[in-house]
Structure formats: structure tokens, C-alpha cells
Amino acid sequence: MEWMILPLKRYFDFKGRSRRKEYWMYTLFVIIVSIVLSILDAMLGLGGSATGDTDASATAVGASGAVSGGLLANLFALATFIPGLAVMVRRLHDLDRTGWWVLALMGPLFLGIILVIVGAAGAMSGGSSAGFGGAALGGMILLGIGGILGIVLLVWACTEGTRGPNRFGEDPKGVSTNAEEVFG
């Protein structure tokens, strides 16, 4: 359980290194709690498609809640966003890679989402379909680039870290590569 909440204790700590175990246990913790909170959101009518309302406004809120998880799940996502970024940066540091790779992923994803929303909103409001269609297409291309970078980060998150110290700090496993320290 300690590994699951360790990134919460290191909330704004973007320095140093994190093991795979810390990263993946935290990820598991976030997924489990998000699922539980999404179920609670649906049961309490705070979002999600299980609200049971059929009028148009409630259905729109329910549909967005189903995608986002509802009020409780969204608050949890906000609370765990920074520690999630921090543990991913430290995980990259364990591989002797810069944490700026996380920004390389987030940039195209956020910009892509904004462009898709602008394109869809413009097309629905009766604007020039060519202009808004171009915005939506550009957004989808950026989302594709973000998806490819996400796969790269996933592979890196699964990769064993650098043995021994690197430019970001000591090995979080505490395993020495010096034979005299091990056998001396």
C-alpha cells in the first residue's frame, strides 16, 4: 500500500528517480479509485450515464459524465494530476531521460483536444465547414501524434531503470554496481 501512495507524499517532487514499482502501483491506485468514484458518481447522480434521467439537459450532462467520470472522479483526477506528472518525470529520470518528454506528450494532446472541440463547435453552430473541419482535422492529427508519444512513454515506463547512479540521482533500487561494495 505504501508504494501506491508514495507519489502523493512526494506531490510536487519532480527531482530524483522512481522505480517501476512506484509508478505502476500508483497507476493501479489511481485506476481503482477512479472506477470506484465513477460508480459512486453514477449512484449518487453526480454524473455518468447511469443517472436515469431522460430529458435532454440531463442526458447531455450524463453523457459528458460518462466520459469524464462525474464530479467525484473529476475532483480525484485533479488531485492526482500533479503527482502523476511528477512520478512519470521521476520514472523517466530513472531511465536517464529528461522529464520534458512528458510535456512533449501533453502539448499535442491538449492542443489536439482544443482544436477538435473548436472544430466540432464551429461546425455545429453553422460556421464555415472548411475552416472548422480543418481545425478538427488538425486536432485529430495532433491527437494521433500524442497517441504515438503515449505509446513511447508506456514502453519507457515498463523499461528497467539505469543501474547505479545517473545524472538524476542514486539508483532507487539501491543496487550497487561496484563489485567491491557488493563482495568486499
pLDDT digits (tens, 9 = 90+) for 117-165: 888 887 777 766 666 778 888 899 999 999 999 999 999 999 999 999 9
Beta bridge partners of 169: 166
176 pLDDT higher than 80: no
Query: Among 39, 68, 95, which residue terminates a domain?
Result: 95
Q: Is there a domain that residue 182 lies in?
A: no
The answer to whether residues 112 and 80 belong to one domain is no
Cα separation, 145 vs 141, whole angstroms: 6
Q: What is the pTM of this model?
A: 0.75
Q: Is there a domain that residue 171 lies in?
A: no
Could you report the per-residue pLDDT of 90-116, keeping only the tens digit for each? Answer: 999 999 999 999 988 888 999 999 998
Could you report the per-residue pLDDT of 57-69, keeping only the tens digit for each? Answer: 444 444 444 445 6
The answer to whether residues 88 and 13 belong to one domain is yes
Q: How many domains, in total, are found in the chain?
A: 2
Three cell numbers, residue 56: 435532454
Q: Output the CA–CA distances (angstroms, integers) from residue 172 to 51, 52, 123, 161, in the order listed.
A: 45, 49, 51, 9
Cα separation, 161 vs 18, whole angstroms: 9
The answer to whether residues 141 and 66 belong to one domain is no
Answer positive or negative: Cα dihedral of 31, 33, 36, 39.
negative
Average pLDDT on 25-44 reads 93
The pLDDT score that the predictor gives to residue 120 is: 82
The answer to whether residues 42 and 78 belong to one domain is yes
Three cell numbers, residue 95: 531511465
